[in-house]
Amino acid sequence: MKLTKRLFSILMTAALVLALSVSAFAADTYTITINNTASGHTYEAYQIFSGDLSGTTLSNIQWGSGVTDAGKTAIGKAADKAASLTTADDAKTFAQTVGQYLSTTIAGTSTEAKDESGKTTSYTIGNLAAGYYLVKDRDGTQTGGTDAYTGYILEVVKDTAVSPKGKVPTVEKKVKDTNDSTGETTDWQDSADYDIGDKVPFQLTGTLPANYADYTKYKYTFHDTESAGLTFDSSSVVVKVGDKTVDSSSYTVVSTGLTDGCTFEVQFTDLKAIKDNTGAAISTTKDSTITVEYTATLNENATLGSTGNTNDVTLEFSNNSNKGGEGDTGKTPKDTVIVFTYKTVINKVSKDKQPLTGAGFTLEKLYKGTTTAEDQWKAITVVENEAGTTFTFSGLDDGIYRLTETTTPAGYNSIDPIYFTVTAEHDVKSDTPTLTSLSAKQTDASGAEITTGAIASFSAVLKDGSVSTDIVNNAGSTLPSTGGIGTKIFTFGGIALMLAAAVMYITKRKVSREEK
């Protein structure tokens, strides 16, 4: 019994010693947590300084395993360098310097953590000995991505957490919409409608990252892609930083030889070295916005209806401050706007709704005058079908129109000009704008709806962007023909006159006899 108790005591003591050893071992290693919700990162930790840990103080600092011998020589004594890192800016500068001298020894690689929905919540690097570490994205993992490379110099004497320094640049694209008949123009929005031949105004707006000051150079390029229905006008490009116009020598507009499928690019080789049109330097900070405004013409290849004519942009930007902004770049998700256009279809029919040939029409649109010009009606090109009974006017937007019958089918009465208004609605604030409604109603010349006596009733189809109506011609009044009822009228009229004359003659003779 005594032997059993003694054996049990020995085992308990051994277990306690083992537990204390495990606790002591666990206390000698630490974990870095990077609180980044952007997926796709692979972080690596390089030990820059090592030393003796007492509590949370690291002493007797030496170079760590993550620095090459060339780096140790170039930078100097480890203890002196560590002592000089007293501010965040010191650490940023040192991160760029020591990043050029990293060895192949990686102290740890991150593990990505996700929540129940599969969304990234953080990254962790564990089992790290006490020391100073450079934590950075693995080379090549963020090039061309939507996030930026990061680099931190961290003193690890306990479990440590760090958050990304801030947002990456963003870009958005907008378009203005104009109603020609009312003269009203909207603010910048996500959709518009225009006539074929119109110049459509576009705006690109880019922002800068929170750590913009960490870069010595900053590449910045707008990649704009237009559908076949839009023709870019390179001479219309205007670039601004805030309210200051950037001189064209500070950027390049490229529209040929591009390999990524975009229509044109506005390229800044270094956004930190731009000038205004007087030659004075323009200062840019993390709070600056860069805008590009230009026009594109809606052309004959434009898609009619709800598909619309898309126009999108992405922004390419320097995303590795560890290299001072050289080389590596990221790219934002694209932002899209859509320009819609429609058609009016006129079906010429008789009173019994049968196709009627021999007609001709002119369609005109009302353009609101300015203070120095009067309102104008401008003609729109018509496309006839082979039978000459359907007339299609393509590439129209909203507004007031006048339809005039310029040729009337033989034997039919001409119609008075018909006024009608085309109305369309589309998403003006949306990542994926759509055409939501399209209609047309007969109106007077000012656009006021006619509620009684309208002769044109329109139907609309969103998909092909058409508003259609039947225009009826009534047969004209005709004179009676020879041998017809007219002859009979004259014959019967003559007989009646002859009978009346005979009656009068006979009556007169009778009266004369009675008088004798």
Angle at 222 between CA 164 and CA 264, to 5 degrees: 155
- Residue 340's alpha-carbon distances to 80, 258, 263, 474, in angstroms, are 66, 27, 19, 36
Q: How far apart are the first and last CA of the chain?
A: 187
Distances (CA, A) of 182 to 62, 178, 370, 398: 76, 9, 11, 10
| Beta partners for residue 202, in sequence order | 175, 294
C-alpha Rg value of the chain to the nearest Å: 42
What totals of helices (H) and strands (E) does the chain contain, helices first? 5, 34
Residue type present at position 60 = N
The tokens describing 363, both together, are 């369609």
> Would you call 475 helix, strand, or coil by DSSP?
strand
φ, ψ dihedrals at 47, nearest 5°:
-80, 115
Query: Closest Cα partner for 380 from 370, 395, 369, 367?
Result: 395
Q: What is the DSSP letter of 300?
A: T
pLDDT of residue 495: 56
pLDDT of 458-488, one tens digit each? 999 999 999 999 999 988 764 454 444 554 5
Q: Which residues of the chain fall below pLDDT 50? A: 1-26, 478-479, 481-484, 487, 489-491
Does domain 171-339 correspond to CATH entry 2.60.40.740?
Answer: yes
Q: Do the beta carbons of residue 153 and residue 93 sit within 8 Å?
A: no
Per-residue pLDDT of 393-402, as tens digits, reads 999 999 999 9
- Tell how strand 30-34 and strand 160-162 pair up: parallel
* Burial class of residue 293 in the structure, from the number of CB atoms within 10 Å of its CB (0-12 exposed, 13-18 middle, 19+ buried): middle
Q: By the 8 A CB rule, do 147 and 38 touch? A: yes
Cα-flanking dihedrals φ and ψ of residue 64, to 5°? -90, 180
Q: Strand 290-298 and strand 238-241: pairing?
A: antiparallel
Whole-angstrom distance, CA of residue 391 vs CA of residue 401: 15
**pLDDT score of 507:** 59
Q: For tokens 């496309």, name the residue.
A: 383
Record the tokens describing residue 299, joined without a space.
């052309």
Separation between Cα atoms, residue 399 and residue 184, nearest integer Å: 11
Tokens of 175: 């378009």
pLDDT for residue 474: 87
Buried b (16+ CB within 10 A) or exposed e, 260-285: eebbbbbebeebbebeeeeeeebebe
Contact in structure between 346 and 469 (CB atoms under 8 Å): yes
Tell me the torsion sign for CA atoms 236, 242, 243, 244: negative
Count other C-beta atoms under 10 Å from residue 319's C-beta. 27
pLDDT of the residue at 13: 38
Please state which of the four CATH numbers 1.10.760.10, 2.60.40.10, 1.20.120.1810, 2.130.10.10 is assigned to the domain occupying 342-473.
2.60.40.10
Q: For 400, phi and psi rounded to 5 degrees?
A: -105, 130
Our CA dihedral for 454, 455, 459, 460, rounded to 10 degrees, sits at: -70
What gap in Å lies between CA 217 and CA 347, rounded to an integer? 63
**Widest Cα–Cα separation across the chain:** 188
What span, in angstroms and rounded, lies between the C-alpha atoms of 278 and 267? 20
